[in-house]
Amino acid sequence: MKINTILAVGACAGILFTTSCQPSMKERQLKYTHTTQVDGDAYLALQTIGAKVPYETDYATYVENNSSVGENRALAAKVRATLGEMIVDLDTLATRYNVDFPIRGAKQFEAGNQNHSVAVADSTVAHPVMTNSDVSDEHYAHHVQHEVAVIKDHFTRLSRNTNKDLRDYAASKLEALSTLYKDAGGKEEAGGHH
């Protein structure tokens, strides 16, 4: 009887040892198929927001340092402060739910390039690069208003997501985005988008 107990314990220990050393099926699926742990709406929101926030932060830094209009510099400082703090949080959320971050193929802000036909080529996507001549000093507030409205719309949708972490994070940022939208000259209508 004693030998049977030793063999059973040894077999259980062997099974436990071999299964704990190998990656689980879920880990292998995430690694090899690039699936995520969020639904389609959350994936789209993280991709869109993740592409826009770094671009707008870099653009705001450029405007803040180089604009001749004081109002634009003040608005750029608010944009940089509001959106800049989101980059680390978005990276953390994207990593937690297996969404690629930073977004591959996303537009990069390039201040010195005046050529409108330049494109950033990636193995997956090519996007035209916007330059400082695309949005002049007179149109910076309108540009910010439009981009923040898009980001805010995705955060609004994300605030109703089934994933509690994403929902809570999005809800916590909506007020700051609304304030930034109003600072850029946007008017929020009751029941309207932007």
pLDDT-derived band at 190 (thresholds 50, 70, 90) equals low
Q: Which pLDDT score is estimated for 25? A: 65
pLDDT digits (tens, 9 = 90+) for 43-52: 899 999 999 9
Average pLDDT score over the chain? 79
Q: Which pLDDT score is estimated for 104? A: 73
Is the sign of the CA dihedral 100, 104, 106, 108 positive or negative?
positive
φ, ψ at 184 (rounded to 5°): -85, 0
Give this prediction's pTM. Answer: 0.70
Is the sign of the CA dihedral 149, 150, 155, 157 positive or negative?
positive
**Region 66-77 average pLDDT:** 88
**Region 122-138 average pLDDT:** 47
Q: What residue spans of 67-163 are helical by DSSP H?
A: 70-84, 86-96, 140-158
Q: Which pLDDT score is estimated for 7? A: 82
Q: Which pLDDT score is estimated for 55? A: 93
**Region 133-152 average pLDDT:** 81
